[in-house]
Every structure is written in C-alpha cells, then in structure tokens.
Structure 1
C-alpha cells in the first residue's frame, strides 16, 4: 500500500545525487519505522504510465523515524531524473512502507561493509544504528568511489569516524583519483580485496558481512 508523503527536504550530495527527506505524519510513524538496511518504494504516474523505484533508507533507526533516501542519477532514469531535476520541497510522492531483508538488528559483534558508489546508502543506516545502540559492536566500512566529489554521504561517514573512533574503521578507495593519504587509486576488485582484507582485519572474527554496490564489486567481494 502506498501513502502520499510530502517532501520535507532535498539536499544535494554530489553533482548527480540528492538526499530526499519525507515528512511522516504522526499516524504513520509505526508504518514507516524501519530496520537498518531496509528500502522504500516510490511511485509516480506519467502520461498514464506508472513508474516505481526502490531506494534504501540512509538514516539510523530511532524512536522518531526519519525517512530519508539517497538517489543517484541514472542515465535515462525516469525517476532519478525527476528526483534530481524536478522534485521540490512541498511536493507529494507516493511511498510504500519499508521492506527488505538486507538488514542488521543491532547486536554485539564485529561487522564489515564493503560498498561501492550509492551502495553506501543502506550500509550507512546499518552502521550508524549499530554503533549508537550497541557499545560492544564494531564496524569496518570499506568503500569505493570514482572521485571524492562523487562520494555520497561523505560528511555523515566522517561524523561516524569522529563519534566512534575506537569502534568504527573506515577505508576509502578512489578508482579515478589519487588521494593525498590512504590507499592508492584503483578499482576495489577481487585481487585487491584478497590482499587488502587480511591486512585490515581478522577475517575469522567477523560476525557479518554487508556487500552493496555494483554487481562486479559485490561478486568479487563475495568470492
């Protein structure tokens, strides 16, 4: 079932990505309460044709649900083009309740996320919720982006690093740009992960892996 929700805020993240926050009425708070890692479906109708897309919720799961998604422009994408070029604060969008099983109910342990590009969106919610609710949990985020300017949620991830310096580990690689510090540039492919992972953490101690991003990255990380 879809519910009409008003757009409360639109934040430009990069040249080709925005974060859209929806106002959730009091009577729908329980409906839109999410588990970290879930997504919502958005729907609009154009010339009699229904356009439906799913986007992951990027905010932590709290008592006061904040419904915010990250949307990256896709070439010829009917909904993403609309979101970046036409959608405005005050507009109404049809939104379905959170769903999905790519989730982590906060518990003690050591967890790792390997993400590429917009794959950061659900993992940001997972990591932020886990660290806030479980003092005995640790999270290692390994992320890959094309350039620093194309990196979504840069400030939010930096905030986690500042807030939980002993429990949050961040490794950031850029495939098309050299960094002043950190890893050399290049794709985060299977050979690179095979050499990188054992140097970063004890593989056998990891209690859960969360892989999200381009197909090749996810498949390489899984292997």
Structure 2
C-alpha cells in the first residue's frame, strides 16, 4: 500500500529559469518500498497552517534493475514553476539541501517493460520527465530497442533536461533519434518554429518514422498536445493499445 515517508533532499539542480530537479535520499530500510518502474511518479506534500498541499511529480532517473536489489539509493523528480503554483513555487524558491519532505511511494501506470522493438514519444514541456526515465531504462537494458523522441518546447533556454537528452544521443547515436520543435524560437534544424498541433504531427510523423512499426507510443504533456497526438496516431492507423498517455495539468504537476 502506498504511504508517505520523510525523505531528505540531497540536491536541488537548476534546470532552467523556471524548473528544478529535486533529489531525495532513500534510506536502506525504505529502498524496497521505493523501487519503481520507468515512468512512475511520486506524490510530495507539505502542510501550511494545517492545510495539506500535495502535488505529483514524475521520476526522471532510470529505473533500478532487478539485478540490483539495494537500489534505489536516490529518487529524482523534475518540477516546473507555474505562476501561482503552491508547491512548485515552494520547490523553486525555498527548498534547499537538507530539507525533509513527505514523499509517497511510487505509483502510476505510464510505464514500459523493456523489450525489443521500435518505440516513440511525443512530449511537451515538462512531459519529458517520465519519458527520460523510460528512454534511458529501455536503451540501457534492451540492446535490440530503438527510440524516437519528438519534443515540443517554447525556447531552447526553457527546455528541461536539455543536457540529459543530449547525453542519450551521445550514448546511443544509432538507437536514439531526437526531434525538437520550438514554438517561440527559430531553429537551425530546418524545422519551422510553431506549435506541434495535429496538422503538423500528421505530416511530421510519417516523414520521420514507419508509424506502423512502432510497438509503443508514449504521449506526455498538456492535455491539448496529448489529445491531438492521440487523434493523429489513430488517424494514421495506430491501434489504441499501442498508445500510452500521461496528461500534465497546466497548473502544477500531473493530472491525478
């Protein structure tokens, strides 16, 4: 049964001007409870004047393998600042190393069991967070898997986990493909800037991939992007069971 424990913050990494990654230490006695699958999330809470403030954030680190029973030693989540967001403002402006927060044990079904095949994702903004865990876990465990990541962000400076995703290209240049679409900034890749809407996806996806060969699609981000991507894929003949979705609220964290 999922429950909360006090975990100590061991790192607060500034990702962009409006996002951070929080790392928590997991004591040895709790590591079995905090074992997670790639793509799962954590609920984090605090109390202010007796009122609970709870938000859910995706784990961005690769999942511990079954051959390493003493893991995870740490948990890392990505948090994007939302104007007026009660918890994201606190995480960005107040949380420091050494603080203790109440963190629930992992949950969520936006997951992938590594297996051979071609996979792809369409993500927007902070929707990269669980997909980063999924991609890294898949490619490190399954040598016969490939992954195409199509991500949408406002500008390069606002792109979360920019270096971590670049590292994936360096580690697996033949198995990892990255396509970035910026909505508010010109690009050097040859792609036009602008929103990644249904019309654009409808022309972009068949040009990039053999859509029918993708065994798993992972869609994560704002409601409009996820729903538009799903309709596009269904229109291209992708079976519903091959499409996995996680919708992020526009206010603060996952839609739960």
Calculate the TM-score normalised by the size of structure 1: 0.99
Output the CA distance in 1 between the equivalents of 2:206 and 2:169.
Answer: 21
Output the CA distance in 2 between the equivalents of 1:31 and 1:188.
Answer: 38
The reply to whether residue 140 of structure 1 matches residue 142 of structure 2 is no
Task: Find the counterpart in structure 2 of residue 23 from structure 1.
Answer: 25
Task: Find the counterpart in structure 2 of residue 6 from structure 1.
Answer: 8
Q: CA deviation at 1:74?
A: 1.0
Note the aligned Cα RMSD (angstroms): 0.7
Any stretches of 5+ residues in structure 2 without a counterpart? 232-256
Output the CA distance in 2 between the equivalents of 1:161 and 1:31.
Answer: 32
The reply to whether residue 195 of structure 1 matches residue 197 of structure 2 is no
- State how 1:179-190 maps to structure 2 within 5 Å: 179-190=187-198
Q: CA deviation at 1:5?
A: 0.1
Any stretches of 5+ residues in structure 1 without a counterpart? none
The reply to whether residue 127 of structure 1 matches residue 135 of structure 2 is yes
Output the CA distance in 2 between the equivalents of 1:144 and 1:163.
Answer: 22
Calculate the TM-score normalised by the size of structure 2: 0.86
List structure 1 runs of 4+ shifted beyond 4 angstroms: none
Match of 1:118 among 108, 126, 132: 126
Q: CA deviation at 1:180?
A: 1.9
The reply to whether residue 212 of structure 1 matches residue 214 of structure 2 is no
Please give the secondary structure, in 2, of the residue aligned with 1:207. Answer: strand
Output the CA distance in 1 between the equivalents of 2:199 and 2:189.
Answer: 21
Output the CA distance in 2 between the equivalents of 1:159 and 1:5.
Answer: 28
Task: Find the counterpart in structure 1 of residue 158 from structure 2.
Answer: 150
1:102-144 superposed Cα distances (whole Å, 9 cap, x missing partner): 0001111111110000000000000000000000001100000
Report how many aligned residue pairs link the two structures: 223
Output the CA distance in 2 between the equivalents of 1:203 and 1:186.
Answer: 23
Match of 1:85 among 79, 89, 93: 93
Output the CA distance in 2 between the equivalents of 1:154 and 1:20.
Answer: 16
Task: Find the counterpart in structure 1 of residue 243 from structure 2.
Answer: none
